[in-house]
């Protein structure tokens, strides 16, 4: 199974790559991992805007 840290790393990489490759994401706020939950089949990774994450 993938570790929690690796799951976060993969999601952050996907968010970064999607932001760079998709013109429609340019106008959206930057996204960051908000929370991670372990499930039977792996990790459930939640993300939200950086502004929201920092306000928590």
The closest of 39, 52, 50 to 15, measured between CA atoms, is 50
pTM of the model: 0.83
- The answer to whether 31 and 47 are in contact (CB under 8 A) is yes
Which residue do the tokens 């039977």 mark?
40
Q: What is the mean pLDDT of the chain?
A: 92
Higher pLDDT, 44 or 26: 44
Average pLDDT (6-35) is 90
Q: How confident is the model at residue 50 (pLDDT cuts 50, 70, 90)?
A: very high
DSSP 8-state symbol, 28: S
Collapsed DSSP state (helix, strand, coil) of residue 56: coil
Q: Is the pLDDT score of 45 beyond 80?
A: yes
């Amino acid at each position: 199974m993938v570790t929690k840290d690796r799951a976060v790393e993969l999601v952050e990489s996907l968010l970064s790559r999607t932001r760079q490759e998709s013109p429609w994401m340019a106008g959206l706020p930057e996204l960051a991992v908000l929370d991670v939950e372990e499930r039977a089949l792996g990790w459930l990774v939640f993300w939200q805007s950086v502004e929201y994450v920092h306000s928590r």
